[in-house]
Homo-oligomer: A and B are copies of this chain.
């Protein structure tokens, strides 16, 4: 049976300050739990699962059985942040925020400048995964990766993409020669721009776009052309990221 303290501890991980305090985070759901159990570089603290899930996933649990805490549906409800709890909940150590500088030197990376919406944040990590972009840097005012809505929107991509909080100036200092692209409302048509196969693509905040400090350091301002007669003001930040990544990857594939 779960103790009151244990329940309180798990629920506290819904808040960033407690995630930082304990260096742990929570994921929920069958599919993502299976994915995490298959990976070797993830330090799971505990697996809270319904007996039926334990039975079905017997093989996967083999090496981590001492971390398993079987729970009843009532108990799962108490620790879950979902309206309909989903068989299994894992508490895990935060992932390493290391990245390979060679990836950044030679490939396309993203820099998220103040992305606030958890759905956008997670979807962008998922986009990076799809297009084989290994590194996503974020400004310190982005919504955190370990927010449960962000994790959910990544659809597991957070396990494969390196997401690193870093002020833009530090990134620029470390990679001074990399070209920096930024999506703005009135830049060069992205379809008519020469897109290198390495560089940093900056994605701005949903409402305010790219911040002044970062905008000053952009070498190529690019725009997704609109065909609207009037009215349309912008694209959703994640949608714009998807379009830009697709065009970059295609330009360098040919």
Contact status B242-A132, CB under 8 Å: no
With an 8 A cutoff between CB atoms, is A131 at the interface?
A: yes
Instruction: Give the nearest-CB partner of A130 in chain B.
Output: B232
Cα-based distance from A156 to B119 in the complex (angstroms): 20
**Candidates B132, B156, B224, B240; contact of A227 at CB < 8 Å:** B132
Contact (Cβ within 8 A) A236 B235: no
Q: Given A155-B233, A231-B160, verify A239-B123 contact (CB < 8 Å).
A: yes
Stretch from A20-28, A50-58, A95-103, A244-252 at the B interface = A244-252
Task: Assess the B132–A229 pair: CB atoms within 8 A.
Answer: yes
- Chain A residues within CB distance 8 Å of chain B: 119, 123, 126-127, 129-133, 153, 155-157, 159-160, 191, 224-236, 238-243, 246-247, 249-250, 253
Which residues of the other chain, B, contact A225 by a CB distance below 8 angstroms?
A: 249-250, 253
Closest to A119 in B: B119
Verify A123–B236 contact, CB threshold 8 A: yes
Whole-angstrom distance from the CB of A249 to the nearest CB of chain B? Answer: 5
Further contacts, 9 of them, CB under 8 A, given A238-B239, A239-B241, A239-B242: A123-B236, A126-B236, A126-B239, A127-B239, A130-B235, A132-B227, A156-B233, A160-B232, A238-B238
A246 touches B249 (CB 8 A): no
5 A/B residue pairs, CB under 8 Å, sorted by A: A131-B228, A132-B228, A156-B231, A225-B253, A235-B242
Contact A126 B235 (CB under 8 A): yes
Query: Ordered nearest first, which 10 A-B pairs have the shortest CB separation?
Result: A132-B227, A239-B242, A129-B232, A243-B246, A130-B232, A191-B250, A123-B236, A160-B231, A131-B227, A130-B226
